[in-house]
């Protein structure tokens, strides 16, 4: 096994372990959390989503810290904090302990550092494939969490899930120490893998990227709200014991993935990415509206949950791809950092607002709120430009070439030369890109 393959597989496994530890609690928090002291819907919602708040606060700073002290120390430190939070939650008897534990889990925010390490350990030509493997591992961990979470909770309550998360975190530390190679040097293409503070302000002014940030915020807010409403509906409408909720999630998620793939292929291969996104948002809106009338029919409820997961999975897979395509040359890492921050904030506000609305006004009002949010997102997305299928490219260049000459190369749409890295960051249309001509131009500046 080559060093790059071993690195990617190890990082994907590490990412899966960490995400599994975070996600397993989602389908069972509302069901089992009611047994804890001082529990209420709003506090359980806060416990469900607060990891998103601490993730959003720490993920960019820890990524920047890893540039100074190294990737592995930050990753190991983050996993130790995650394990500590898991232990606090596992030992808790009140909902406040759950909240503190989940908040600590989120403080171990190593996502941006892991992405930077992928860049450190892979070549430019293999990086897109490596990111795709990491993305697939996240989707797999979410699916497994929906199955394993209810099974573990049935055996030992929420404590069993948090102890399992702690064990997974310790295993993750072992992977970092024993399996993941130590990069000889950090990747030159820092702007493609980590957020650059000086670019954050300009990136927030990019209207197209902000539409996507609002979208992922809304998507994860709605997801958290669903896990406040749907588990009790499965118990009531299906008369399904909480220990058997996995028997619903397993087939529904598998079928949702099967239906998702043709949509993703249509978006990428046939260049229908905006149409697929709008259709998926419409499905999300429909699922929220239909959930308000689904509690009287078991089959109808299952159908609506299936529609929701088709929409969620498709959007979860396509939105990061859109960010990558729309990010300006040299700003991909910053754009992805702000995108991830929006995602985590959505999870936090979803848990907090969802719990408050469910407690104060009931589940129907909560679902109406989610429907209105999805409708607002659909309206905002309608005005989004149909994105071009552009790829990011990093090219070493010791001296600054004339911008006009680089932009004259067929397929080159944007070009940015960074003196500190002695490199060009390009946005290119690969169907038209003439690499030979670019190399010829750069030879004149060698």
Asked if 78 and 201 sit in the same domain, the reply is no
Range of the domain at 424: 391-443
Asked if 102 and 179 sit in the same domain, the reply is yes
CB atoms under 10 Å from CB of 182, counted, come to 12
Distance CA 142, CA 136 (A): 10
- In Å, how far from its chain's centre is CA 412? 29
Asked if 186 and 229 sit in the same domain, the reply is no
Distance CA 381, CA 286 (A): 16
pLDDT at 100: 97
- Which of 238-242, 262-266, 299-303 has the weakest average pLDDT? 262-266
Q: What CATH number did the domain enclosing 421 receive? A: 3.30.70.100
Alpha-helical runs (H) found in 91-189: 95-107, 111-121, 124-178
| Residue 414 φ/ψ, nearest 5 degrees | -135, 150
Asked if 140 and 262 sit in the same domain, the reply is no
Reported as a pLDDT band with limits 50, 70 and 90, residue 159 is very high
The torsion angle over the Cα atoms of residues 270, 271, 275 and 279, rounded to 10 degrees, is 60
Asked if 61 and 164 sit in the same domain, the reply is yes
pLDDT at 169: 95
Position with higher pLDDT, 172 vs 405? 172
DSSP 324-347: HHHSPTT-HHHHHHHHHHHHHHHH
Position with higher pLDDT, 192 vs 391? 391
Minimal CA–CA distance to 284: which of 213, 363, 347, 370?
A: 370
CB atoms under 10 Å from CB of 235, counted, come to 15
Distance CA 380, CA 378 (A): 5
Q: Fill in the DSSP letter of residue 181.
A: P
Select from 363, 388, 413 the last residue of a domain.
388
3-state DSSP assignment of residue 43: helix
Q: What CATH number did the domain enclosing 117 receive? A: 1.20.1250.20
Distance CA 291, CA 309 (A): 13
- Which of 150-154, 187-191, 231-235, 333-337 has the weakest average pLDDT? 187-191
Sign, CA torsion 22/161/309/225? negative
Helix (H) or strand (E) holding 428: strand 423-428
- What is the pTM assigned to this prediction? 0.92
Asked if 410 and 290 sit in the same domain, the reply is no
How many domains does the chain contain in total? 3
- What are the pLDDT digits (tens) for 160-178? 999 999 999 999 999 999 8
């Amino acid at each position: 096994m080559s060093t790059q393959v071993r690195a990617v597989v190890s990082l994907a496994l590490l990412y899966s372990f960490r995400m599994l530890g975070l996600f397993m609690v989602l389908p069972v928090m509302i069901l089992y959390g009611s047994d804890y002291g001082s529990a209420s819907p709003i506090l359980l919602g806060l416990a469900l989503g607060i990891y998103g708040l601490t993730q959003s606060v720490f993920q960019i700073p820890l990524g920047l810290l890893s540039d100074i002290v190294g990737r592995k120390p930050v990753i190991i430190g983050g996993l130790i904090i995650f394990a500590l939070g898991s232990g606090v939650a596992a030992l808790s008897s009140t909902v406040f302990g759950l909240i503190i534990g989940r908040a600590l889990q989120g403080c171990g925010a190593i996502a941006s550092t892991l992405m930077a390490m992928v860049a450190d350990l892979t070549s430019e030509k293999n990086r897109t494939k490596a990111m795709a493997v990491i993305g697939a591992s996240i989707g797999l961990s979410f699916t497994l969490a929906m199955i394993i979470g209810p099974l573990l909770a049935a055996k030992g309550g929420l404590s069993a899930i948090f102890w399992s998360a702690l064990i997974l975190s310790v295993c993750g530390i072992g992977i970092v120490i024993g399996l993941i190679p130590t990069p000889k040097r950090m990747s030159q293409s820092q702007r493609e893998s980590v957020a650059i503070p000086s670019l954050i302000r300009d990136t927030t002014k990019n209207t197209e990227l902000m539409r996507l940030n609002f979208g992922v915020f809304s998507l994860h807010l709605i997801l958290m709200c669903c896990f406040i409403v749907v588990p009790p509906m499965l118990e009531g409408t299906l008369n399904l014991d909480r220990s058997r909720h996995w028997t619903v999630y397993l087939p529904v998620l598998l079928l949702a993935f099967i239906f998702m793939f043709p949509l993703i292929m249509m978006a990428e291969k046939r260049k229908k990415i905006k149409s697929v996104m709008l259709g998926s948002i419409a499905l999300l809106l429909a699922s929220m509206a239909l959930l308000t009338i689904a509690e009287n029919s078991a089959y109808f409820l299952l159908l609506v949950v299936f529609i929701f997961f088709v929409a969620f999975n498709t959007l979860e897979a396509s939105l990061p791809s859109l960010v990558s395509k729309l990010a300006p040359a040299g700003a991909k890492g910053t754009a992805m950092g702000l995108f991830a921050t929006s995602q985590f904030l959505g999870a936090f506000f979803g848990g907090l607002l969802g719990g408050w609305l469910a407690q104060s006004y009931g589940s129907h009002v909560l679902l109406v709120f989610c429907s209105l949010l999805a409708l607002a997102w659909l309206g905002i997305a309608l005005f989004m430009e149909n994105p071009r299928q552009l790829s990011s490219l990093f090219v070493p260049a010791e001296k600054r070439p004339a911008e006009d000459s680089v932009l004259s190369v067929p397929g080159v749409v944007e070009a940015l030369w960074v003196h500190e890295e002695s490199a060009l960051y390009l946005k290119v249309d690969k169907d038209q890109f003439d690499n030979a001509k670019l190399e010829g131009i750069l030879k004149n500046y060698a």
